């Protein structure tokens, strides 16, 4: 009578290695998806904050002949923090939190002092956003007006693409992106020339111009107060 050979219980070493490899691959894919979702959520917060800042600028302009606070003659601002503080003094804002951004070393503490000066609003280290100078409510809607802090005050601005994901000055988002809000109130990520490098500008079009140089070859902006 023939007898059938029974397979010993358990997995062979090769089978175990295959299972471990598959689990490792699935875990890696899951972690990548979670990271991508987290970055997307953080960018959505930053995008919404920049839109709210533009809305506040529009409210200020309605009371100042269409001009934004960088044009204020009574209290000429030397930094973006100074300019944005005028939004509190004008009554256009009552919350510092929109001047933050995820993955940024610059975070407001929520204390903006009392009326009418609101002297504690956006003190040094409490504002993530720069403000383009010379823009008014009447400027073309595609013009950039608010953007994430850059590596220097030179025009056009540039960012540290290598520092993506780290809360450091001038950092870009992963994939070489930066949040820019335009004068029409729209906002979103703009592509950089590269996803690597510590002084990278926005991607240029076929004529060699980017969003900032299309507006002006020799523009300027108010930097943050560190």
> How is the chain split into domains, by residue range?
42-222
**pLDDT for residue 52:** 98
Q: What are phi and psi of 191, to 5 degrees?
A: -75, 140
Rounded-to-integer distance, Cα 171 and Cα 158, Å: 10
- Tens of pLDDT, residues 132-186: 999 999 999 999 999 999 999 999 999 999 999 899 999 999 999 999 999 999 9
What one-character-per-residue DSSP string does 112-144 give? ---TTT-TTTT-TT---EEEETT-BTTS-TTSE
Q: Order of strands across the sheet with 144-148?
A: 187-191, 177-182, 144-148, 129-132, 221-222
Percent of the chain beyond pLDDT 90? Answer: 82
Tokens of 196: 């690597």
- Tens of pLDDT, residues 182-193: 999 999 999 999
**pLDDT for residue 19:** 75
- Tens of pLDDT, residues 71-106: 999 999 999 999 999 999 999 999 999 999 999 999
Tokens of 111: 């204390």
**pLDDT for residue 34:** 65
């Amino acid at each position: 009578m023939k007898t059938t050979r029974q397979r010993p219980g358990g997995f062979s070493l090769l089978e175990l290695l295959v299972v471990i490899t598959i689990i490792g691959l699935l875990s890696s894919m899951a972690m990548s998806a979670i990271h991508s979702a987290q970055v997307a959520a953080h960018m959505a917060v930053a995008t919404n904050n920049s839109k709210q800042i533009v809305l506040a600028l529009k409210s200020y302009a309605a009371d100042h002949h269409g001009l934004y606070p960088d044009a204020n003659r009574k209290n000429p601002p030397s930094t973006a923090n100074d300019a944005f503080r005028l939004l509190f003094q004008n009554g256009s804002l009552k919350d510092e939190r929109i001047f933050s951004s995820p993955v940024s070393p610059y975070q407001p503490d929520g204390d903006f002092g009392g009326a009418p000066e609101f002297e504690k609003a956006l003190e040094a280290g409490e504002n993530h956003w720069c403000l383009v100078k010379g823009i008014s409510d009447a400027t073309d809607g595609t013009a950039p007006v608010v953007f994430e802090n850059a590596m220097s005050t030179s025009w056009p601005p540039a960012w540290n693409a290598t520092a993506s994901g780290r809360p450091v000055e001038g950092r870009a988002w992963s994939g070489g992106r930066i949040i820019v809000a335009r004068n029409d109130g729209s906002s979103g990520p703009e592509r950089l020339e590269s996803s690597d490098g510590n002084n990278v500008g926005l991607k240029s079009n076929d004529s060699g111009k980017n969003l900032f140089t299309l507006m002006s070859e020799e523009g300027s902006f108010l930097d943050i107060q560190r």
